[in-house]
Amino acid sequence: MSANTSYFPKNLTLPTQIAIPRTIAVFLFVSDLAGVFFSIISVLSMQFNVHIEQFNTFASGIILSGLIGLYIFDAYRSHLQVAIVWTRLRTIISLILVSAFGTVLIYLSNIWEANWQLNQGILLASLGIFPLWAVLSRLIAVIYMRAPFGKVAMNPLFNSNRWLIVGASQGANQFKKDLAEEYPLLESNARSLSGVVVATQAPLAGEELQTLVNYRLQGVPIYELPEAYEQIWYKIPPNLVNDNWFIFTKGFKLNSSQFHQNCKRVVDIVAASVLLAVLSPLMVLAAIAVKLNSPGPLLYSQVRSGYNGETLRVYKFRSMYQDAEQLGAQWAMEHDPRVTPVGRWLRATRIDELPQLWNVLNGEMSLIGPRPERPEFDVKLAEAIPYYKMRYSIKPGITGWAQVMYPYGASVDDARQKLSYDLYYIKHYSFALDLVIALKTIRVVLLGKGR
């Protein structure tokens, strides 16, 4: 290899997010599911002379909502489990909230079934056993993750002793910088290779190319930089891809499949209709709050770029003072003085975006997709960021992968980072990914992390 190659060895104190296999999250979920049934069976055997067959679909719905609640509160993010204090607080708080919600559902069940009293007792008693099981399973996960054998990840990118980065291009240097910033315990060391090769997309010399072929035949995993970013950070930096990559890489089924587009449209119509019906009282309260807080119109409309660059007009509950843009269009900032007190709350909970459900029903937007930007900003961003217009190859959304993975953008660099997540979403679109985004959006709303 040339002098431009560099190594990132893995030592015994690996950063948790790299060292821990994603299977830990699966273990915690399966453990919680088993814990629910263990709790119920225990109560049945100790207190009630009944059989498990009497457990019905309504109880299954309560269990499912409880597990979704734990996911929303990050109870399955494996790298958080190492911080013992943080784990206890997060797990206990989430269990309390989920259990309280489950208790309410159990008591409300009398509205539908008069003979539900026996199952009420079973489920309520089970809520006292399950939290102990959930905490114990997470302590076991912590013990495993802190043990030497637990520091081997299932992902080939993470189970090597050493990484070899080929080349000294700008992309390779940025990759090393990103690793060093997020995982400072990774150090550069030019020892013998025993792990993963991350190759740049720059042309390689014949000897280097042959060496990589030999490594591949010896079973050493080799990744191009875009794929490495996809595996580690779930994004695709636009400066690392080119036209050939877009032509030959797999994915982009939402762009090429009318079936997936139709399915997504049906989900949008049904979900937007349900949300409008369920959230209409909240929208009325938000409207009253906006009118009482500051003078001006109830709704604020903007022209945004949409599918294939066509413009659309989106509507939001007004969250800024009436003369907020008297100096022209500008990005919203953190602690923006133009935002009203009520508007700050509306933004934090994303309630200000709810009127855009009408845009979804009209077919101009989707519930999930890249956020539409203002045309005057798009012109500048398209000049500064390669493949920027690719984000409009699908319908824009009220929420999206970039919105739940990256803070609010207020600069060209922020827009570049958000585009990298948008490209990942466009390439990897699936119903499962949309479901993950929906759950993460609920987390943002409940924790008030919007902006």
The model's pLDDT over 32-81, given as tens digits with 9 standing for 90+, comes to 888 877 777 776 666 555 555 555 566 667 677 777 777 777 777 655 54
- Distance separating alpha carbons of residues 265 and 267, to the nearest angstrom: 5
* Region of poorest pLDDT, from 158-162, 165-169, 260-264, 378-382: 158-162
Could you tell me if residue 443 is inside a domain? Answer: yes
The yes-or-no verdict on residue 4 having pLDDT over 60 is: no
Task: Please say which residue of 233, 267, 288 terminates a domain.
Answer: 233
| pLDDT at residue 7, rounded to an integer | 41
Three-state DSSP at 165 gives strand
Could you tell me if residue 241 is inside a domain? Answer: no
Average pLDDT of the residues of the chain: 76
Distance between first and last Cα of the chain: 47
* Cβ 427 vs Cβ 236: under 8 Å: yes
Q: How far is CA 360 from the centre of its chain?
A: 21
Could you tell me if residue 359 is inside a domain? Answer: yes
Three-state DSSP at 213 gives helix
The yes-or-no verdict on residue 85 having pLDDT over 60 is: no
List % helix, strand, coil for the chain (3-state, nearest 5).
60, 10, 30
- Whether residue 260 is found in the same domain as residue 396: yes
| pLDDT at residue 50, rounded to an integer | 54
91 falls in which pLDDT band (50, 70, 90)? low
Reported as a single tens digit per residue, the pLDDT across 372-394 is 999 989 999 999 999 999 999 99
| pLDDT at residue 442, rounded to an integer | 85
| pLDDT at residue 140, rounded to an integer | 77
**Residue found under tokens 């509950």:** 317
- Whether residue 386 is found in the same domain as residue 262: yes
- Distance separating alpha carbons of residues 286 and 290, to the nearest angstrom: 6
Could you tell me if residue 97 is inside a domain? Answer: yes
- Whether residue 345 is found in the same domain as residue 395: yes
**How would you label 369-399 residue by residue, b for 16+ Cβ within 10 Å and e otherwise?**
bbbbbbeebbeebeeebebbebbbbbbbbbb
Could you tell me if residue 239 is inside a domain? Answer: no
- Distance separating alpha carbons of residues 209 and 330, to the nearest angstrom: 48
DSSP H or E stretch at residue 367: strand 366-368
The yes-or-no verdict on residue 188 having pLDDT over 50 is: no
What is the percentage of the chain residues whose pLDDT exceeds 90?
A: 28
* Cβ 306 vs Cβ 375: under 8 Å: no
The yes-or-no verdict on residue 123 having pLDDT over 70 is: no
Task: Please say which residue of 151, 181, 210 terminates a domain.
Answer: 151
- Whether residue 198 is found in the same domain as residue 299: no
Could you tell me if residue 248 is inside a domain? Answer: no
- Whether residue 293 is found in the same domain as residue 345: yes
- Distance separating alpha carbons of residues 311 and 85, to the nearest angstrom: 49
- Whether residue 218 is found in the same domain as residue 268: no
- Whether residue 342 is found in the same domain as residue 286: yes
Could you tell me if residue 439 is inside a domain? Answer: yes
Token digits of residue 19: 């060292």
The yes-or-no verdict on residue 20 having pLDDT over 80 is: no
* pTM, to two decimals: 0.73
317 or 76, which is more confident: 317
Which of 273-287, 400-414, 433-447 reaches the highest mean pLDDT? 273-287
The yes-or-no verdict on residue 440 having pLDDT over 50 is: yes
- Whether residue 176 is found in the same domain as residue 114: no
Letter for the amino acid at 229?
A: Y
| pLDDT at residue 149, rounded to an integer | 42
155 falls in which pLDDT band (50, 70, 90)? very low
Edge-to-edge strand list for the sheet holding 222-224: 6-9, 162-166, 196-199, 222-224
| pLDDT at residue 44, rounded to an integer | 64
Q: Which residues are CB-contacts of 250 (< 8 A; sequence separation ≥ 6)?
A: none
The yes-or-no verdict on residue 25 having pLDDT over 50 is: yes
352 or 135, which is more confident: 352
121 falls in which pLDDT band (50, 70, 90)? low
Q: Which residues are CB-contacts of 150 (< 8 A; sequence separation ≥ 6)?
A: 19, 20, 144
| pLDDT at residue 394, rounded to an integer | 96
Structural domains in the chain (count): 3
Reported as a single tens digit per residue, the pLDDT across 204-244 is 777 778 888 888 888 777 888 898 888 888 999 999 999 99
Could you tell me if residue 171 is inside a domain? Answer: yes
Q: Which residues are CB-contacts of 286 (< 8 A; sequence separation ≥ 6)?
A: 317, 346, 351, 352, 354
30 or 92, which is more confident: 30
Segment 23-40 shows an average pLDDT of: 78
Token digits of residue 291: 């009118």
Q: How far is CA 336 from the centre of its chain?
A: 26
- Distance separating alpha carbons of residues 12 and 128, to the nearest angstrom: 39
Strand runs labelled E in 167-275: 196-199, 222-224
- Whether residue 140 is found in the same domain as residue 174: no
Q: Where do runs of H (alpha helix) occur along 12-116?
A: 16-19, 23-47, 57-72, 84-108
What is the percentage of the chain residues whose pLDDT exceeds 70?
A: 67
- Whether residue 339 is found in the same domain as residue 420: yes
- Whether residue 305 is found in the same domain as residue 375: yes
* Region of poorest pLDDT, from 20-34, 82-96, 99-113: 82-96
- Whether residue 338 is found in the same domain as residue 311: yes
Q: What residue numbers bound the domain in which 182 lies? A: 6-15+152-233
164, β-bridge pairs: 7, 197
Task: Please say which residue of 151, 182, 203 terminates a domain.
Answer: 151
- Distance separating alpha carbons of residues 287 and 71, to the nearest angstrom: 31
* Region of poorest pLDDT, from 172-186, 309-323, 430-444: 172-186
* Region of poorest pLDDT, from 39-48, 247-256, 284-293, 295-304: 39-48
Reported as a single tens digit per residue, the pLDDT across 130-152 is 777 887 887 777 666 655 444 43
